[in-house]
Amino acid sequence: MEGKTAASLWIAGSTIVVFSVSMIFGKALASSKVEKDGAQKAPLEQAAAVGGWRLDQPVTYENLTIFPVVSSQEADTSAFETLDAALASGDVVVTEQGDYMRRTRDGRSPSISSGPQVNQLVLVNRGKKPLLLLAGEVVSGGKQDRIIAKDRIVPVGTTPLPLDVFCVEAGRWTGGSDRFVAAETMVHPTVREQAAVAQDQEKVWAAVRGEMASREMSSNLSASVEPGAAAAPQISQSQVATIVAGAVPTESYRKIYQSDTVGPSVDNFVHEISQRFDRATSNLKGERVVGVVVAFGGEVAWSDIFASSQLFQNYWPKLLRSYAIEALTRPGTRETASLDSAREFLRPATGHVHEESEPGVYRWREQREDRVAEIVLEALAPKQMPLHWLRVLRED
C-alpha cells in the first residue's frame, strides 16, 4: 500500500502544492480532495491540511529573509547517519582513490584504483546506519578539499564505494592527510547549485571565484531593484576567492569562516539571524521546524526541507552559515521577499522528470521548469520516505 501511495505522489505535471508537500513527508492523498471551483483553498491551506506543515512568519536581517517550514507531523529518521557525525566517529572512511585497501575473500589486498582522481574519492560505510549525503557538503583533506556532488544514501556493509565529488580548490594538488575529515561546512548556494544542479566542475570553480554570482547579481539588480536601492556587498566575491586560493592545505573553503577579513562578518551575521530565528520559532505549539525557504533581497531563491526536525537540526548550523556567506556576497537592498512569494516558490515544477536510483537503497529525482530546479532524495529502506527536498532558482 505504501508503494502504491508513494508512486501516486510523483505524478509529473501536477501544479498543486499539496502534492509536493505530501511527497516530502510521505503522506497519503487517498482521503484528500482538492476543490476545483472558485472556492478552492489556498495552496498553503491545502498543504497544512494534508502534509501537516505550513510556512511560518519570515525572519529577516539585512538582505537575508528566512521562512521557517514547520510541521505537526514528521517521519522517524533516526535510522540514518549524517556525514559529519559518521566521519567524526570513524564509522565512515573517505580517502583518495588508491589510498584505501580492502582484503578480498581469497586474501589478496587490491587497491580501489591506480591513483587519486579529482572528481572521485573512495567511501567506506562501516557503521550500523545508512549514510545520508547532501550535495555541497565539504570533506577536508587529501590532495585537495572536495564537496559531495549529489544527494544520495550509502547503505551499510557495502564494498568501498567510488564517490563522485567536485573540487573547490582549483590550484592545489598536494598531499595532505590520506583520509578526509568532517569539515562541518556546506558551500554557499551559488557554489552548491553548480554541484547539485549543473553537475559541472568548471562551473563549481567559476562559482568559487565569484564569476557565477557576479552575473546573477547584475541580472537580478537590473530586473528587480530600483536605482539607488542597493548597497555594495559586505564581502566581495574577490575576497572569498582570494581566501580560498590562499588557504593552507586541507582547509581551503573553511578558511572563509576563519579569515580575519571575512570571518567576523560571517560570525556576526550568523549570530544575529540565529537569535531572531530562535525567538521566532521558540513558541511553536505542537509543531517543529523541518526546513526553510530562503530569500536574498526581494528574490526567493532556495529551500532545504527535511523529513524530520531531527535532520533539520543536524544540518541547520552549516546551512545557516552557507546562507550567510551568500547574503554577504550579494548587494544589500531594502527589498524583502513576501510570504506569498515564498508560497509561490514552493509551487511544484511541471517539467521533465530525470530519475536515478540504487534499487532498495534510494531514489533521486530532478524536475526543472524555467529557472527553477527541484530535487528530491527518497530513501527506499528501511522505510520508504523522502528525506530531503531541495528547490533552487538557477543562475542560468
Q: Of 219, 241, 261, which one is at a domain's C-terminal end?
A: 261
Nine-digit cell string for 299: 528574490
pLDDT grade, residue 392 (50/70/90)? very high
Nine-digit cell string for 8: 501516486
* Same domain (yes/no): 220, 93: yes
Alpha helices in the chain (DSSP H): 2-8, 17-25, 43-51, 83-89, 189-193, 201-209, 211-224, 237-245, 255-258, 263-281, 309-328, 339-345
DSSP, collapsed to helix, strand or coil, labels residue 67 as strand
pLDDT grade, residue 395 (50/70/90)? confident
Q: Of 210, 228, 261, which one is at a domain's C-terminal end?
A: 261
* Same domain (yes/no): 208, 128: yes
pLDDT at residue 36 tops 50:
no
pLDDT at residue 294 tops 80:
yes
Q: Of 261, 280, 303, which one is at a domain's C-terminal end?
A: 261
What is the total count of domains within the chain?
2
**CA 233 – CA 81 distance, rounded (Å):** 37
Which residues share a beta bridge with 304?
292, 390
Is 139:132 a contact under the CB 8 Å cutoff?
no
Residues 6 or more apart in contact with residue 218 via CB below 8 angstroms: none
Positive or negative torsion for Cα 127, 128, 131, 137: negative
pLDDT at residue 90 tops 50:
yes
* Same domain (yes/no): 131, 253: yes
pLDDT tens by residue, 221-254: 333 334 445 676 667 666 666 666 665 444 467 6
pLDDT at residue 386 tops 90:
yes
Q: Is the pTM of this model over 0.85?
A: no
* Same domain (yes/no): 71, 87: no
Cα 337 to the center of its chain, rounded Å: 21
* Same domain (yes/no): 48, 102: no
* Same domain (yes/no): 19, 129: no
Least confident of 42-46, 208-212, 254-258: 42-46
Least Cα distance to 64 among 243, 332, 260 occurs for: 332
Domain encompassing residue 186? 81-261
